[in-house]
Amino acid sequence: MTPGISTKLQQALGLHQQGQIARAAVLYQEILGDQPGHFDALHLLGVASLQSGNPEAALELIGRAIHINPRNPDALTNLGNALRELGRHAQALTCYERALAIRPDSPESHYNRALALQELHRHDAALAEYDRALALRPGYIEARYNRGVVLQDSRRHEDAALAFAQLLAIAPDCPYAAGKLRYLRLLCCDWRDYHAEQIQLVEAVAAGRRACDPFSFTAMSNTAAAQLACAKTYAADKYPPAATPLWSGERYAHDKIRVAYLSADFHEHATTHLMAGLFEHHDFARFDITAISFGPDRQDSMRSRLINAFDHFIDVRAKTDREIALLLREMEIDIAVDLKGYTQGSRTGILAQRPVPVQINYLGMPATMGARYIDYIIADPWVIPPEDYSHYSEQILHLPDSYQATDDSRQIDVHTPARADLNLPEDGFVFGCFNNNYKITPELFAIWMRLLHQVSGSVLWLLEDNPVATRNLRAQALLHGIAPERLVFAPRVPTGAHLARHRRADLFLDTLPYNAHTTASDALWAGLPVLTCAGNTFAGRVAASLLSAVGLPELIARDLDSYAALALELARHPERLREIRARLARNRGTCPLFATDRFRRHLESAYIVLRERSQRGETPAPFSVVPLCDLQASPVDAQSIG
């Protein structure tokens, strides 16, 4: 190595270590101009490319370096990192294994191998690799964090909570770890330090710290303003907008409006239980409808149904966010509807590239995404009233009736199991709540326990989500003076059977600050009245939206005291509850909530307006769709710009 190149390399390394990646890259390129086969310059320029979000260039540069020196473990590890960024996880594993064969005591290689195994859903193997990395470097914060994530993905919630508690003990400011711990404890119904932890987390979010992911925060926050702060911090950190958007104002000339739905859940899932009917009812003469599927292909009956429902069903699991965004741009999609938001399996990085003129947040994320490249959120006046508009980074698109799609062809098993077969009392009043356990709060649970005290022979029927939550809820019941056996837990069963067993409950008790969503729709479709309390956020007002659209507004309580009083009144006056059930049964076939085609026509009228606005070059603005006067009205007439 000549003295000049050696000096330049040291300068580049110094800049690189200081985070001045672009300036370091210039020097690496200058070295390669003089010496094209310079191993360190090739390798480090590849690393700089990877850090700058260009894994394709990194793969080519590091590959050239390894051709020069095939036994450099750092280069092999970084080649694996580039492959992993490109979604080529199996090939990445081979690189890490080659690196570990040369240097088996490298915590970085073990850590990165664990990440690849995690992406391949080989959870046990990933845990073993994280443990090896931590044995070599006990203070390896990233390894501790991701080990906790693997435990959570494996549904070992209690072990995952312990992992994050241990992480916070040595790194109290680790980004998002506090939110992970709190959410995991909610999953376990572990309410130790409940109020103190909630106050600390809300304060941290308000201060702009990276304390919690936005979806988990919806179960912990009761203000839309706090949720906006959380989402803006998260979006800026994890999914900043691309420096150069893929779409920059071009007008498309095709006749049909091209709509793409993006999801990881195109299989048996709560989202598709709601959306399948909409997909099938779309007006394919006016719309070209595409599914962009980046989730697993479980080859179940719902997957088969959905493949047949779309004009185009594209499995993009093997593609990077950039590749998927380029595909959307090449297809000239007019409207992209993100059905995931920040929920599990989301790919927000796709829309961060701005590949589509109109980008929408719908259904999966019951809160703002805090990202300026998401133009609209689909809502209704219940879930986002006008006074809350300022707490959303998106513009508000109000649908009439309810924002939530439903499928009016959903089948309920004809056979209704006997109460005895469900471990329910034959004559006692059955309060039910099939919400996920993380939505249950100590305050709500105390109300439920008072109801059990007040209604002799009654039971509380809950979803059996995980054994730790079941154990903790029974222990909490005992603390409230309620025999643990008065809590009955329902195991997960196929959807038709689950809907059928709703017939054996008397009243569904909703949760707050995070309501029943699909779960409330399930109950109402099955004929079970839902009692809710309207909260202060989108997630806390969904059941109110559904009850309004099904014609049972009297089941929307204004506060928790009213909620508790109404639950007791209905339990003590069965004639009133029978009248409500009868009205629900009558309304089921005629109410707006379960009119799939009516919802479709409202939504399509919104899509027409959005596309026209985009074609005119107008900036996004809030608007409301006027309800159809009758089902014969034209969807073009059913629009109103507010």
User: Do residues 369 and 291 share a domain?
Assistant: yes
Residue pLDDT, tens place only, 263-282: 999 999 999 999 999 999 99
Measured between alpha carbons, how far is 431 from 530 in angstroms, rounded to an integer? 10
The tokens for 374 are 């998401």
User: Do residues 564 and 425 share a domain?
Assistant: yes
User: Do residues 375 and 473 share a domain?
Assistant: no
Residue pLDDT, tens place only, 55-97: 999 999 999 999 999 999 999 999 999 999 999 999 999 999 9
Q: 263 pairs with which residues across the strands?
A: 293
User: Do residues 329 and 444 share a domain?
Assistant: no
User: Do residues 381 and 495 share a domain?
Assistant: no
Of the candidates 556, 576, 593, which is a domain's last residue?
593
In a domain, 71, yes or no: no
Measured between alpha carbons, how far is 438 from 459 in angstroms, rounded to an integer? 20
Alpha helices (runs of H) in 331-373, residue ranges in sequence order: none
Count of CB atoms situated within 10 Å of the CB of 299 = 8
User: Do residues 423 and 561 share a domain?
Assistant: yes
CATH code of the domain covering residue 279: 3.40.50.11380
User: Do residues 427 and 568 share a domain?
Assistant: yes
Measured between alpha carbons, how far is 597 from 282 in angstroms, rounded to an integer? 8
Cβ–Cβ under 8 Å, residues 407 and 277: yes
Strands 395-398 and 376-379: parallel
In a domain, 272, yes or no: yes
Amino acid letter, 549: A
Residue pLDDT, tens place only, 558-603: 999 999 999 999 999 999 999 999 999 999 999 999 999 999 999 9
When divided into structural domains, the chain yields a total of: 2
Measured between alpha carbons, how far is 429 from 234 in angstroms, rounded to an integer? 44
User: Do residues 432 and 372 share a domain?
Assistant: no
Q: State the DSSP code for 430.
A: E
In a domain, 638, yes or no: no
CATH code of the domain covering residue 584: 3.40.50.2000
> Which residue range is the domain that position 333 belongs to?
257-398
Confidence of residue 376 (pLDDT cuts 50, 70, 90): very high
- Residue 3: what pLDDT? 52
Count of CB atoms situated within 10 Å of the CB of 200 = 14
Confidence of residue 2 (pLDDT cuts 50, 70, 90): low
Measured between alpha carbons, how far is 291 from 41 in angstroms, rounded to an integer? 43
Helix or strand (DSSP H, E) at 224? helix 224-238
* 3-state SS string for 617-640: CCCCCCEECCCCCCCCCCCCCCCE
In a domain, 497, yes or no: yes
In a domain, 70, yes or no: no
Cβ–Cβ under 8 Å, residues 445 and 476: yes
Helix or strand (DSSP H, E) at 57? helix 55-68
In a domain, 473, yes or no: yes
User: Do residues 516 and 481 share a domain?
Assistant: yes
Q: Is 33 exposed, middle or buried (0-12, 13-18, 19+ CB in 10 A)?
A: exposed
Phi then psi for 489, rounded to 5 degrees?
-110, 130
Residue pLDDT, tens place only, 476-518: 999 999 999 999 999 999 999 999 999 999 999 999 999 999 9
Q: What is the CA radius of gyration of the chain?
A: 27
Give this prediction's pTM. 0.94
Above 70 in pLDDT, residue 176?
Answer: yes
User: Do residues 426 and 565 share a domain?
Assistant: yes
Burial 472-492 (b: 16+ CB within 10 A, else e): bbbebbeeeebeeebbbbbee
Nearby residues of 640 by Cβ (< 8 Å), 6 or more positions away:
623, 624, 625, 626
User: Do residues 268 and 367 share a domain?
Assistant: yes
In a domain, 551, yes or no: yes
- CA angle in degrees (0–180, nearest 5) for 520-521-524: 85
In a domain, 341, yes or no: yes
User: Do residues 439 and 585 share a domain?
Assistant: yes
- Which residue do the tokens 């056996």 mark? 485
- Residue 628: what pLDDT? 87
Count of CB atoms situated within 10 Å of the CB of 168 = 16
Measured between alpha carbons, how far is 407 from 391 in angstroms, rounded to an integer? 30
